[in-house]
């Protein structure tokens, strides 16, 4: 009976199709082990959406590391940037403190234009799986701080349009992310987002006024690049500490509404940018912990971590700043419908009068204090003509052209008569040049008038050629005998010239006799 029972049990077990065999169980065990090993080696993937046109400087600052040697494997090859189209892409591997282990891989998406037409390109990037690992970064440049509020408003409006277009599952995931991000680090001393063991059981602090009133569904970080331009603004634009404090207070008040962080960076200078970006994405080193520290004292190295700022801290920076008015004005500005404008530049800002202004908005209050230098001349001209009513009249096109045709005809006739008179005067002067006394001068005289006196050096003495010729002529005239009259004769009835010729001929003959022989003695 026992053998029959065991045989029946074996047959029933083998005939049960739902019960896995021993070989299948072994395969399942191995597959589960392989999955665990593969998932352990799989790199955590994080996403960064960079919104601005000056993107390369941010990428260089994100990958800079002074402790990395030149022979490092990452220094010889940098990932390329595919930015030929509307949405660019590149990646970056985050290394641990020993530069041996890769902590995470950052997929960086680049967008330079805040046009709402690019919303369909961003929608696939935000899914329930990628939303918890995504960070928004808006780049500003200190070379044009007067456009910052318009740029921020354009990007925030684009993000709000993007969030509204997502599906229900993505919106619910964003809400969860915002709740966890809002409570992150609150009530503890860890500004990098890590929780403190002593305060795990404590209740998080309540929100203060103006905090997290306009959550965007994703963590936000604003990076103000090229803060070394602060000295240039101070020297060339005569800016003072009041202007820089005003900008900082404005930015902190606005970003407090979105729960965003703020940092100033200088090119090729180490900064806490890496720590801020990594902590915002939940990337922490396993070997070395780098806590974030706030800095609102150094005007070119400002760092405001998330969930640290408050209205009270903003007021302390400089008295007289109306935090409530800026907070309300910014809410009005971002509620405006985003309208594409052909005059909008690549950074999303509008220049001068081309940009619409909302009364009582934060953008208007900011630009009244921080003005565009290019509009100073226009504003000065407007101030001079203030109160003067300018009237402009116009006439029909054909009438205007007829009048201009008559004017051109008169000008042409006047030019022709003037040319004729000038030709006559030129011809007369060219044909018969005269001197001051009215005598005509020849070609040589005209040339001498143009070239002036000719001089040369003779034996170390500077000689005037014209003066020398004139003196030679005078001397020749003085030494030449005066012409005789036709009837003039000498005492013997001969012509003076004939007498002189005979005299010299006699001398020659007399000299010749003396030369052939001496005279006889006694001869006279």
In this prediction, residue 524 carries a pLDDT of 36
Average pLDDT, the chain: 74
Task: Determine the Cα–Cα distance for residues 303 and 295; give it in Å rounded to an integer.
Answer: 5
Pairwise pLDDT comparison (324 vs 96), residue with the higher score: 324
42-93 pLDDT tens trace? 778 999 999 987 788 898 888 876 444 434 444 445 666 666 678 899 988 8
In this prediction, residue 43 carries a pLDDT of 78
Pairwise pLDDT comparison (398 vs 491), residue with the higher score: 398
In this prediction, residue 143 carries a pLDDT of 93
Among 143, 137, 116, 127, which Cα is nearest to 55's? Answer: 137
- Those residues whose C-beta lies under 8 Å from the C-beta of residue 275, and which sit 6 or more positions away, are 192, 290, 292
**Extents of the domains making up the chain:** 43-195+209-376
State how beta strands 455-458 and 303-304 pair: unpaired
Task: Tell me the whole-structure pTM to 2 decimals.
Answer: 0.62
For CA atoms 94, 99, 102, 103, the dihedral sign is negative
In this prediction, residue 380 carries a pLDDT of 56
Among 336, 328, 359, 364, which Cα is nearest to 209's? Answer: 328
In this prediction, residue 99 carries a pLDDT of 72
- The four Cα atoms 381, 383, 384, 390 give a dihedral, to 10 degrees, of 80
Task: Determine the Cα–Cα distance for residues 396 and 438; give it in Å rounded to an integer.
Answer: 59
pLDDT (mean) for 297-313: 92
Q: How far is CA 468 from CA 4, 219, 452, 464, 477, in A?
A: 159, 100, 15, 6, 14
160-174 pLDDT tens trace? 999 989 999 999 999
Q: How far is CA 172 from CA 108, 164, 176, 439, in A?
A: 24, 12, 6, 110
**Band of pLDDT at residue 419, cut at 50, 70 and 90:** low
**Band of pLDDT at residue 137, cut at 50, 70 and 90:** very high
Among 257, 272, 167, 181, which Cα is nearest to 215's? Answer: 257
């Amino acid at each position: 009976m026992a053998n029959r029972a065991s045989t029946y049990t074996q047959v029933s077990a083998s005939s049960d199709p739902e019960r896995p065999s021993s070989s299948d169980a072994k395969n399942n065990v191995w597959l589960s082990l392989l999955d665990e090993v593969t998932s352990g080696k799989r790199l955590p993937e994080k996403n960064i959406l960079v919104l601005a046109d000056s993107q390369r400087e941010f990428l260089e600052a994100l990958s800079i590391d002074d402790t990395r040697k030149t022979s490092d494997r990452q220094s010889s090859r940098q990932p390329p940037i595919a930015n030929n189209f509307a949405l660019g892409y590149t990646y970056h591997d985050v290394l641990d403190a020993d530069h041996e282990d890769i902590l995470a891989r950052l997929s960086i998406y680049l967008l330079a234009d805040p046009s709402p037409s690019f919303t369909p390109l961003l929608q696939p990037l935000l899914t329930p799986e990628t939303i918890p690992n995504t960070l928004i970064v808006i780049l500003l440049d200190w070379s044009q701080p007067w456009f910052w509020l318009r740029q921020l408003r354009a990007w925030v409006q684009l993000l709000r349009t993007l969030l509204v277009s997502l599906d229900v599952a993505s919106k619910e995931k964003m809400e969860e992310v915002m709740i966890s991000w809002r409570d992150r680090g609150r009530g503890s001393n860890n500004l990098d987002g890590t929780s403190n063991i002593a305060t795990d059981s404590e209740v998080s602090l309540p929100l203060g006024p103006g905090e997290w009133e306009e959550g965007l569904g994703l963590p936000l970080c604003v990076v103000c690049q090229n803060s070394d331009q602060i000295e240039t603004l101070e020297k060339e634009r005569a800016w003072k500490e009041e202007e820089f404090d005003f900008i900082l207070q404005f930015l902190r008040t606005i970003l407090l509404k979105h729960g965003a962080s703020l940092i100033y960076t200088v090119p090729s200078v180490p900064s806490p940018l890496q720590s801020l970006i990594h902590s915002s994405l939940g990337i922490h080193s396993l070997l070395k912990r780098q806590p974030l520290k706030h800095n609102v004292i150094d005007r070119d190295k400002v760092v405001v971590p998330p969930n640290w700022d408050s209205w009270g801290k903003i007021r302390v920076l400089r008295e007289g700043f109306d935090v409530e008015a800026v907070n309300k004005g910014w809410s009005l500005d971002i509620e405006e419908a985003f309208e594409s404008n052909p005059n909008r530049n690549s950074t999303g800002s509008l220049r001068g009068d081309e940009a619409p202004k909302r009364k009582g908005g934060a953008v208007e209050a900011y630009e009244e204090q921080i003005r565009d230098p290019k509009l100073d001349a226009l504003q000065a001209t407007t101030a001079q003509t203030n109160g003067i009513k300018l009237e402009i009249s116009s006439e029909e096109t054909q009438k205007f052209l007829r009048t201009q045709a008559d004017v051109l005809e008169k000008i042409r006739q006047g030019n022709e008569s003037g040319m004729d008179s000038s030709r006559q005067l030129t011809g007369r002067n060219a044909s018969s040049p005269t001197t001051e006394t009215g005598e005509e001068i020849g070609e040589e005289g005209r040339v001498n008038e143009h070239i002036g006196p000719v001089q040369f050096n003779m034996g170390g003495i500077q000689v005037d050629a014209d003066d020398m010729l004139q003196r030679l002529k005078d001397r020749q005239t003085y030494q030449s005998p005066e012409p005789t009259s036709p009837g003039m004769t000498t005492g013997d009835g001969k012509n003076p010239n004939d007498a002189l010729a005979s005299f010299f001929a006699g001398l020659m003959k007399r000299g010749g006799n003396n030369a052939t022989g001496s005279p006889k003695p006694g001869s006279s």
